[in-house]
Structures are given as structure tokens and as C-alpha cells.
Amino acid sequence: MERASIRAVNTSTPIGYWGPPTSTIDWCELNYEYSYYIAEFWNTISNLLFVILGFYGLYRSIKMGFEPRFHLQYIGVMVTGFGSAMFHGTLQHVYQQCDETPMVWSVLAWIYIVYNNEIEQIPVKNASNYVIAFLTTIGVIFTVMHAIYRFTTAFQLFFAVLAVLACARLCMHYTEVKDPRARAVARSYVISCLFGLVFWVIDYHYCHTVRGLPINPQGHAWWHIFMGVSSYYGPIFMLYVRLEQLQKKARICDACFCIQTITVEDNGAMKSKLL
């Protein structure tokens, strides 16, 4: 079994309600510092943004009659938020699976969304069904192998490769979109990803340096916040791209708390397609 702990095990670390950590990663935040029942307080509550934005995105997607794959993507965002909170709240391996496995399933769905143009151009009847079956098979294989072998670095590399492939394709879509507000949403997605990655790297690789600071900046909690934002805005931009392809009049507009959403003129005439 691969063991990837960010810091050496400290026998003086407080043991809370969930007992000693069994996860393959113990992040830079001090365990049980704020609550006997929550192992990593800030890393846990920061997942609320995944749940809130995922729920709002799902609500809008269903209300506007968008295609089911966008519903699925926002469900994945919410499930990842819940799973991540369970992981950081307990630092138990079983709940680590509830964090990392939904991340992979969500990014597989995201791959399907951003590469939908290429999928539709495959000269095979029902090609999209084959692609869905292929991506589902990858997800199942990963889920089983990850549960058995508890690999950490391989998971991180696998997720990173898929995320980079998806981001690269989204950037290509960006060059084809002219609407300034839609382009701003795409930039928010990319910038949030980059900021989140910086905080993740600092928290993961430079914990000993961070521990020497007067205040722990809680880098992994910021990773959650920035990735929560990007996980919301990415599908919003791809919805705009998709609606343009369907020759619908889409518009990016402001919602509550400076969040952008998408509306469609003559939405009543819009018919959802199966995936």
C-alpha cells in the first residue's frame, strides 16, 4: 500500500472522535484544532461552496431544460463536496474514497462535455453511447483499483491528466466565442483553477514552511474554494458553447452574490436531448 503523508506522524497530534488517521494523506491543517468531532475544520467547511454552487447549477440546469449531462456534472460537483467534507472531517480511508472517487467520475463527465463536438463527429452510429460506455468503464476500473490498492500519486496524476485535457479543450472553445461575458466566465474558470492549484501545491509540498508562519494560510481550504468556483463556471461556459451550437440565444447574466448564470430566450421551445 502506498503511504503519502504530507508530514511525519506526530505522536503528540490530538486524537479526536474519529480516532487516528487511516487516510493516505494527512494535510497541513492541524488535526482537531477547533473541534473534537472535525479532524480538519477549515478543510471541511470550505467544501460548502461545492455543495452550494453545485446545487444552484443543478437547479438552473433543470429549470432551463438543459441536457442531462449538465445535470450530471453539477450532481458530481455536489457529491464531491460532500465526499471531501467527509474525508477531511474524519481523515479515515473509507471517506477518502468518498472524496477522490467522485472527483474522477466528475472529471470523466467533464471530458464528455468539453469534447462533445469531437464525439458527435465520430463516423460511427451511436458513437456517443460507445464513448459513455468507455468512460464509465474507466470510472469503474478506477473505483475498484483505487479501493483495493489505495494509491495516491497515481490518482493525482490520473486526475491531473484528465483535468488538463479538459481545460485545454475548453480554452480552444474560448477562442471561438465572441461574447465578452461568456469569455469572462471561461477566464474565471481557468484563473480559479490556477489559483487553486498554487494553494494545493503550497499546502501539499511546503507544509513544513507553512508551519513556520505566524498563521497557517489553510492552503487546502483555498484549493476547495477556488475549485468550487471553477467547477461552477466551467459548465456555465460550456452551456453557452452548446447553446450557440444549437442556435439558441444564450445570455450570461448576474445572479445573487455576484454569481453569473445563463439564460435562454424562448426557452419554452427548447427541447432537451439525451446526453
Residues annotated within the binding site for Ca(2+) are 26-27, 29, 31, 40
112-123 burial, b if ≥16 CB within 10 A, otherwise e?
A: bbbebeebeeee
Nearest alpha carbon to residue 139 among 105, 169, 164, 116: 105
What is the distance between the alpha carbons of residues 201 and 156, in angstroms, rounded to a whole number?
12
> Crossing angle of helices 48-63/68-90, nearest 10°?
170
115: cell is 469534447
Annotated binding-site residue numbers: 26-27, 29, 31, 40, 88, 220, 224
What is the distance between the alpha carbons of residues 156 and 17, in angstroms, rounded to a whole number?
28
What is the distance between the alpha carbons of residues 145 and 52, in angstroms, rounded to a whole number?
31
Nearest alpha carbon to residue 167 among 100, 70, 237: 237
Annotated binding-site residue numbers for Zn(2+): 88, 220, 224
What is the distance between the alpha carbons of residues 9 and 21, in angstroms, rounded to a whole number?
10
Residue 77, by phi and psi: left (phi above 0), alpha (psi -120 to 50) or beta? alpha
Question: DSSP states of 225-275 as a string?
Answer: HHHHHHHHHHHHHHHHHHHHHTT--EEEEE-GGG-EEEEETTGGG------
What is the distance between the alpha carbons of residues 95 and 82, in angstroms, rounded to a whole number?
10
